[in-house]
A and B are shown apart, each in its own frame.
Chain A
Amino acid sequence: MLNEEIMKKIAQAIVEESAQLDGVQPEEMLREVAGYLNEEQPRPYCGIAEVVSHRGVKVTEDIVRKIAIAVIKEAEQLEGVDPEEMVQKVVGALQGESVTQIPALTNESAIMKTRGVTVDMDIARRVTEAVLKESAELDGVVPAEMIQKVLSALRPMEAAEGSTSVAASAAVSSVAAASVSRRPASMVGTERINAEKTDYSRAPLAQKGTDPKEVVIGVGPGFQKEIRSTICGIPLEDVIREVKAGIEEEGLIPRVVKVLKTSDVCFMGLEAAKISGSGIGIGLQSKGTAVIHQKDLYPLSNLELFPQAPLMNLDTYRKIGQNAAKYAKGEQVTPVPSVNDPMCRAKYQVKAAIMHIAETEQVDPNYPIIAWPMQ
């Protein structure tokens, strides 16, 4: 059934996948999906609509067939899933017609047996991924549109199971909230984003490490508390998990601390490096901006900087962990290749400002750097 966890995973899969597709904006995609999940009319979000009008999309029979095959392939590997029914739903959504009217599909669907269908998280994600992968390779197909159709096909199944609430995940709903259907209320007179400042007075201060195999990750003051996902909606626990995994993969030991004395990513990274046994630290702002730092560098210098948070994905976070560990081992490191989206600023800078304000509100020089998460 489609619960909050599933929504979150779907959102994440979409973000990850779409980040790798040319001309597709993860945020728009999420909004699109969120619109559906919230049982609203999907809105023609700009990024998608633009791609559509540029490419002139026409869903041909051939495209439908290829996608259907992809769906079947995935569905076959999943227990309790009826590939035929899935295909029907997908195709129905694509064509607005019944599957039986598409001759090319008859062979594929004929071999399917009927099984009881339950759409769980894994299925939803895999199907989404499969659809994205396939549709990306097809000329004239907009992956976002595909996802939308697939999700709308999946939704009735879930509804049929009697679930009443389609609660969107934090990531999805926050994106959906940013959509434009109504005028936001004035904020004039409001002095903080989060009325209460979190009290860290009882948190143990982080100590300087001595193990040369240690790499310290310094997260921002609002990390996993006031802010729970990055600017493009990746849950922060997933981000931290990947960074740690990257470090562990290289045989080193990650340690997470929360830097409260500053919200500047370079200084956070440097603070982490200074208490790191290896002298290598990672600064990680809650909005997703990251830096690899070394204890004896100038604050605003760095080993590697990842300034465009909206372009980050889990794979990049893992590579950050790996490279940080390699620096700690004194290896020759190939930096993670730079990525660049010249339109990032237009879309994300205001959101980045708001997120940074929320993070900065938590800065507390009295407790400069604490162990995280708190025990």
Chain B
Amino acid sequence: MKRSKRFEVLDARPVNLDGYIGEWPEMGFIAMNSPYDPKPSIKIVGGKVTELDGKKREDFDFIDTFIADYAINLQRATVSMSIPSLEIARKIVDINVSRKEILKICSGITPAKMAEVISHLNIVELMMGMQKMRARLKPSNQAHITNLKDDPVQLAADAAEGALRGFAEEETTMGIARYAPLSAMAILIGSQVGRPGVLTQCSSEEATELDLGIRGLTTYAETVSVYGTEKVFVDGDDTPYSKAFLNSAYASRGLKVRFTSGAGSEVLMGYSEKKSMLYLECRCLYVTKGAGAQGTQNGAISCIAVPASVPSGIREVLGENLVATLLGLECASGNDQSFSNSAARRTARTLIELMPGTDFIFSGYAAEPNYDNMFAGSNFDAEDFDDYNVLQRDLMVDGGLRPVLEEDVIAVRRKAAKAIQSVFSYLGLTAITDEQVEAVVYAHGSKDTLDRDVPADLLAAEDVLKRGITGIDVCRALAETGHEDVAERILNMLKQRVIGDYMQTSAILDKDFRVLSAINTPNTYAGPGTGYRLDGERWEEIKDIPHRIDPKNL
């Protein structure tokens, strides 16, 4: 066939580099409404669920049992289940029905019913629902702080810059898992240099992550993954019960925790049981709620290219975010993984959470260039900072970030790099040279920094664990080396664990370590003129982008 030049141009567009696949329910490639999804039902006998979504108790797998026993408000169930799904869907977008009332209704419906409710909502209605149902009054944002070299100095500097730019939480992970103790320490120090009160976590193997949390080297945990089918759980050597124990382990030490789940994981693991991605994610979120977690990181997360490959997949992603809020959970709404080569597509995918606002628009905005993002790339990265700031300004929405000045960024990067240099030296860990500090201060990414001595770093990381180094040791090291202000901030973060208020739903800390959560600052949206409105100081900050025409200099 002789080729059309138009088609040659179209074929070459970035959007056609993305992977797409037709609906294939048998393999789980279906966003919503799989023909194999169960019909909603519940039967309660003597205070015990005997049937859930068409399945008898004797046929339950452990997810069904867990949900039936812990995740549904049985006092509400009969009434809630008798309300038609379409009516619940309408209530969700009705400004005259309060968030509280919706939460009450949804506490008594089953996962299949929840999926049915969501399937009645189009994309705009899902956004309207999110605007009302988000738990915390004010939206916020979370950063990924990582680099290809696992360089702790760069981690500290990027964490400081990220905090200055407005991120309320920062998460790291490693190329080489054994770096974890150093990485956790680096972003703990860096974040507090950039802005006091930023929460940090280190995504690693569960036992290590818990250990780091108990030591006070992290201030929250997020990588507690749950799945929608039993086989995927089993493949990971886990059950809903073991996840609930893990959640309690964190809670017992005063650490904030959220679970992780999202569309596509069961497909990717080969065990979708022919169910739709939305239905399986509903099961995950019910497990999350049943385990007593305050919140979730969902919205497909690392499997985002799977829902994105099927029709209505991105709509499903916002749908599952909304399910989290309908269950009263904090929602860190994804956007944390690259999924498309098309700038149009990736922006559209983020707008659906940015415009209504979620507890955390991103559960990981790459605050480094994407080549350094060790979560294998985020949907937005450091090179999009100004785009994002302009989007906030164009649409007058609060996406959690703010424009910053170059000199301020350089200053906090230097301060963070020097702080970690002192801490490493005081604790007798690997040396950090002045040259490394200088390179990192002005670096965009790890291509601009000096190499670390990896085997020496790994020995130091092991040493941190062996010697039982904790957050207090980091405080002491900072205080003894002339960084008293940073030491005090880290001490304040450790105090939060004793106070415990930041374990409430959707909690973040402001710069004075005051908790903002769904308890003391709940979402009050009830139509125009209510809820969170962007104005005052915060709006001035967003308006104030540096790249503006100066009429005096024309």
Given known pairs A299-B237, A335-B176, the reply for A342 and B8 (CB within 8 Å) is: no
Q: Is the interface of A mostly helix, strand, loop or mixed?
A: loop
Chain B's nearest CB lies how many Å from the CB of A342? 3
Q: Is A373 at the interface (CB under 8 A from chain B)?
A: no
- Other-chain residue from B175, B177, B208, B338 in contact with A345 (beta carbon distance below 8 A): B338
1/0 contact string of A336-367 vs chain B (CB within 8 Å): 01111111111111111110110111000000
Given known pairs A188-B26, A359-B270, the reply for A347 and B237 (CB within 8 Å) is: no
Given contacts A349-B304, A349-B305, 10 further A-B contacts (CB under 8 A): A43-B11, A44-B8, A44-B12, A184-B22, A335-B176, A345-B302, A345-B377, A349-B19, A353-B267, A353-B306
Is there an interface contact between A190 and B26, defined as CB atoms closer than 8 Å?
yes
Interface size for A (C-beta < 8 A) is 59
Is there an interface contact between A41 and B1, defined as CB atoms closer than 8 Å?
yes
Chain A residues with Cβ below 8 Å from B450 are none
Is there an interface contact between A345 and B304, defined as CB atoms closer than 8 Å?
yes
- Other-chain residue from A262, A267, A333, A343 in contact with B377 (beta carbon distance below 8 A): A343
1/0 contact string of B210-250 vs chain A (CB within 8 Å): 00000000000000000000000001110000000000000
Q: Is A140 at the interface (CB under 8 A from chain B)?
A: no
Given known pairs A186-B22, A188-B24, A350-B305, the reply for A345 and B337 (CB within 8 Å) is: yes
Q: Is B343 at the interface (CB under 8 A from chain A)?
A: no
CA distance A302 to B431 in the complex (A): 26
Q: Is A191 at the interface (CB under 8 A from chain B)?
A: yes
Q: Is A264 at the interface (CB under 8 A from chain B)?
A: yes
Q: Is B84 at the interface (CB under 8 A from chain A)?
A: no
Q: Is B205 at the interface (CB under 8 A from chain A)?
A: yes
Is there an interface contact between A191 and B14, defined as CB atoms closer than 8 Å?
no
Q: Which residues from chain B sit less than 8 Å from chain A, CB to CB?
A: 1-3, 8, 11-14, 16-27, 148-150, 175-178, 205-208, 235-237, 264, 267-271, 302-306, 309, 337-341, 366, 370-374, 376-378, 381, 454-455, 458
Is there an interface contact between A346 and B18, defined as CB atoms closer than 8 Å?
yes
Given known pairs A346-B305, A353-B268, A357-B27, the reply for A298 and B205 (CB within 8 Å) is: yes
- Other-chain residue from B14, B22, B271, B303 in contact with A187 (beta carbon distance below 8 A): B22
* Chain A residue with Cβ nearest B456: A332
* Chain B residue with Cβ nearest A302: B177
Chain A residues 309-351 with CB under 8 Å of chain B are 332-335, 337-351
Chain A residues with Cβ below 8 Å from B20 are 350
CA distance A41 to B8 in the complex (A): 12
Q: Is A79 at the interface (CB under 8 A from chain B)?
A: no
Is there an interface contact between B12 and A50, defined as CB atoms closer than 8 Å?
yes
Is there an interface contact between B338 and A346, defined as CB atoms closer than 8 Å?
yes
Total cross-chain contacts (CB, 8 A): 169
Q: Is A49 at the interface (CB under 8 A from chain B)?
A: yes
CA distance A47 to B307 in the complex (A): 23
Is there an interface contact between B19 and A49, defined as CB atoms closer than 8 Å?
no
Is there an interface contact between B236 and A300, defined as CB atoms closer than 8 Å?
yes
Chain B residues with Cβ below 8 Å from A92 are none
CA distance A342 to B2 in the complex (A): 35
Chain A's nearest CB lies how many Å from the CB of B323? 23
- Other-chain residue from B3, B23, B25, B205 in contact with A41 (beta carbon distance below 8 A): B3
Chain A residues with Cβ below 8 Å from B370 are 342
Chain B residues with Cβ below 8 Å from A360 are 269-271
CA distance A350 to B19 in the complex (A): 6
Chain B's nearest CB lies how many Å from the CB of A52? 9
Is there an interface contact between B24 and A343, defined as CB atoms closer than 8 Å?
no
* Chain B residue with Cβ nearest A348: B19
Chain B's nearest CB lies how many Å from the CB of A185? 8
Is there an interface contact between A46 and B16, defined as CB atoms closer than 8 Å?
yes
Chain B's nearest CB lies how many Å from the CB of A224? 19
Given known pairs A187-B22, A346-B341, the reply for A301 and B12 (CB within 8 Å) is: no
* Chain A residue with Cβ nearest B271: A360
10 contacts between A and B (CB under 8 A): A49-B12, A186-B24, A263-B270, A264-B235, A298-B205, A300-B237, A337-B148, A347-B18, A349-B19, A350-B306
CA distance A359 to B235 in the complex (A): 14
CA distance A335 to B1 in the complex (A): 50
Given known pairs A41-B3, A340-B373, the reply for A347 and B17 (CB within 8 Å) is: yes
Given known pairs A41-B3, A340-B148, A345-B305, the reply for A46 and B24 (CB within 8 Å) is: no
Is there an interface contact between A300 and B205, defined as CB atoms closer than 8 Å?
yes
Given known pairs A188-B25, A307-B376, the reply for A180 and B18 (CB within 8 Å) is: no
Most buried by B among A45, A189, A193, A335: A335
Given known pairs A347-B17, A356-B269, the reply for A342 and B373 (CB within 8 Å) is: yes
Is there an interface contact between A361 and B338, defined as CB atoms closer than 8 Å?
no
Is there an interface contact between B177 and A305, defined as CB atoms closer than 8 Å?
yes
Is there an interface contact between B148 and A308, defined as CB atoms closer than 8 Å?
no
Q: Is A164 at the interface (CB under 8 A from chain B)?
A: no
CA distance A190 to B29 in the complex (A): 12
Chain B's nearest CB lies how many Å from the CB of A145? 13
CA distance A361 to B271 in the complex (A): 9
Q: Is A248 at the interface (CB under 8 A from chain B)?
A: no
- 8 closest A-B pairs by CB: A342-B377, A360-B270, A338-B175, A49-B12, A349-B305, A342-B370, A350-B19, A301-B205
Is there an interface contact between A47 and B17, defined as CB atoms closer than 8 Å?
yes
* Chain A residue with Cβ nearest B150: A338
Chain A residues 24-68 with CB under 8 Å of chain B are 41, 43-47, 49-50, 53
Chain A residues with Cβ below 8 Å from B304 are 345, 349
Most buried by A among B23, B26, B176: B176
* Chain A residue with Cβ nearest B12: A49
- Other-chain residue from A45, A186, A345 in contact with B376 (beta carbon distance below 8 A): A345
Is there an interface contact between B267 and A333, defined as CB atoms closer than 8 Å?
no
Chain A residues with Cβ below 8 Å from B269 are 264, 356, 360
Chain A's nearest CB lies how many Å from the CB of B175? 3
Q: Is A304 at the interface (CB under 8 A from chain B)?
A: yes
Most buried by A among B2, B149, B338, B374: B338
Chain B's nearest CB lies how many Å from the CB of A336? 9
Is there an interface contact between A188 and B235, defined as CB atoms closer than 8 Å?
no
1/0 contact string of A146-159 vs chain B (CB within 8 Å): 00000000000000
CA distance A357 to B267 in the complex (A): 8
Is there an interface contact between A350 and B21, defined as CB atoms closer than 8 Å?
yes
Is there an interface contact between B17 and A301, defined as CB atoms closer than 8 Å?
no
Is there an interface contact between B306 and A357, defined as CB atoms closer than 8 Å?
no
Chain A residues with Cβ below 8 Å from B235 are 262-264, 267
Chain A residues with Cβ below 8 Å from B148 are 337-340
Chain B residues with Cβ below 8 Å from A352 are 268
Chain A's nearest CB lies how many Å from the CB of B364? 12
CA distance A359 to B462 in the complex (A): 36
CA distance A180 to B237 in the complex (A): 40
CA distance A339 to B3 in the complex (A): 37
Is there an interface contact between A346 and B17, defined as CB atoms closer than 8 Å?
yes
Is there an interface contact between A342 and B338, defined as CB atoms closer than 8 Å?
yes
Is there an interface contact between B19 and A347, defined as CB atoms closer than 8 Å?
yes
CA distance A338 to B176 in the complex (A): 8
CA distance A300 to B25 in the complex (A): 30
Is there an interface contact between B24 and A340, defined as CB atoms closer than 8 Å?
no
Chain B residues with Cβ below 8 Å from A190 are 24, 26-27
